[in-house]
Every structure is written in C-alpha cells, then in structure tokens.
Amino acid sequence: MNTRRSFLLFALVFLSYAHPAMAQLDPWEFEVYGYQTVPRGMLEVESLNSVVLNGSRHGEKGTSKGTVPSQSIWRTSLEITYGLTDRIEAAMYVNLAKPRGDDLQYAGSKWRLRGRLFDQGELPVDIGWYFELAYKRTPKYDDQKLELELRPILQRDIGDFSFIVSPKFEKILVGSEEKEGWEFGYVSGIYYRWMRALSPGVEFYGAIGMMKHPDPTRDQQHYIFPVVHGEYRGIEYSLGPGFGLTHGSDRTLFKFNVGLEKYIGAIFGPSNNPLF
C-alpha cells in the first residue's frame, strides 16, 4: 500500500470516529496517548490539570457526572507510569477536584495497562492498546463506582505530522448503570512537529452515552482543543483552551498537563515521546 493510499485510509478512519455520533468523557484526563510506550525501567510522573471557565451551574451537566456543578471546578490527576517492558507500561492515577468555593478533594483512582503491537512503521498504521479500571470515590463526582475502559490506539506519522485516533469502549461494573451495556466515545489528535520546545496540535474529545441508546445529539459532549506542546529543560507540557461543540458540553475549559518523564527518565535513557 503506497503512502497516498495509506493516508486516505487513515483519514477515512479519523473522520468516521470524529463524527458527532460518538463515548464517555473523562474530565480528569484531557490527554491523547500515542502508539509509543514508556521504555522498560523508565519512570514517568505527570500532572494532568483542567479548569472549567464557562460551564454548568447544575450537577450532572457538562463535564459533571455527579452532584457538583462543573462551573469553575479545577481537576487534577496525578499520574505515575512505569515501563514494564519495551512494549507494555503500567500506570496509576489519583484524581483530585477543587469545586468552586471548596477545598481540594480526593475523587477517585485509576489503574491502567497500555501497550503497542509490532514495530513502528511495520504496518501502514501503528497500533496500540489501552486497558483501564477506574474507581469513583463519591457520587459528588460520579455515581458509578467502578468502570472498565478499553480502547485501540491508531497512529499514522506522515512527514512532520502525527495523526492519532483512539475510540473508547466503556462498561460500568458497579453502579446504577451496570446493566446498561457499553458506552462509546473517542480521543483523537493531530500534531505538527515544529520545534522541540514548541509545537502546535489539535485534540478532539467526545461522548455519546450508551451504545444501545445514545443521547440525543444536542445532549452529547464534543470538545476541540487547540494545543501547544513541547519539552524544555527536561519538562514536557501540553496546554490549550477547550471549546464545547454541543449544547450538552461545557462551553470553555483550559487544560495544562506537565510531566517530569524526561527528567526522571534521564536516569534510564532518553525520552520516548512519539511526538518528538
């Protein structure tokens, strides 16, 4: 398959998953994972942060899954990732939230495995996989206690551009919706490798609800984030505003993710970030 045909195939896959009819949004993790994993023995520490600048003043609307309104809420997820092998990594997250006028609170935890198949460039599209188990501490933030998430990761690098598509399949294991079946959504991104310290990109996040009976289009959540990312003096970052595209979305958010993986990983070897 030549490069032009590979690009057209990937573009069709990307557009099909970017259609407004798409799975459950994780408001603690506005991050797009690429094909590459953390190398064996490398430790990676990240802080994933977002704040809702213009959201809902009522619970269970916008990015709020519980009784706490999304307006002005600050969310932080502390992530520690370790490379088990050169193809598989394990990670743990601690989710914290600071609602408007309240203190920082523990909201839950997540555990995940992420891996990749074949060597990069061996197939027209590089393929990875993602398995996650999420525990929600309180109905204030989410009334579904335990949740499973599965997703493939599809990445295609063309010149200085990287295209990443990651459809999400989620199942409530413990909670009021545990018998409802699977939910479906997407996390995707397009990035341009301009300079190591500063490069632009666009990220897409979305949710439609249950696969058997999706929410009406106006009630679904879909967001677009113009972002800049890079690495400076051992610190990697990704930041930018997010804009809701539907009535059911929060109107404006801002994300700021920062990682020390390059600095800490220098003990074991160079960074393996696929975008640099």
Q: Which domain holds residue 98?
A: 3-265
At residue 261, the pLDDT reads 63
Examine residue 75 and state whether it is found in any structural domain, yes or no: yes
pLDDT in the model for residue 114: 98
Q: What is the pLDDT of residue 234?
A: 79
Let me know if residue 274 belongs to a domain. Answer: no
Secondary structure element (H or E) that encloses residue 54, with its range? strand 43-54
The answer to whether residue 220 sits within a structural domain is: yes
pLDDT of residue 5: 55
Is 14 contained in some domain? yes
Q: Is position 73 within any domain?
A: yes
Other CB atoms within a 10 A radius of the CB of residue 137 amount to 14
Q: Which residues contact 180 (CB under 8 A, 6 or more apart)?
A: 172, 210, 212
Q: Among residues 43, 57, 132, 117, which one has the least CA distance to residue 87?
A: 117
pLDDT for residue 275: 46
Q: Distance between CA 246 and CA 49 in Å, rounded? A: 22
Residue 191 in 3-state DSSP? strand
What is residue 247's three-state secondary structure? coil
Please indicate, yes or no, if residue 272 is contained in any of the structural domains: no
Type of residue at 55? G
Q: Which residues of the chain have pLDDT under 50?
A: 1, 11-23, 263-276
pLDDT for the residue numbered 177: 85
What digits encode the pLDDT tens for the residues 105-156? Answer: 999 999 999 999 999 889 999 999 999 999 999 999 998 999 999 999 999 9
CA distance 201 to 189: 7
Q: What is the CATH number of the domain that holds 253?
A: 2.40.160.40
Q: State how many domains the chain has.
A: 1
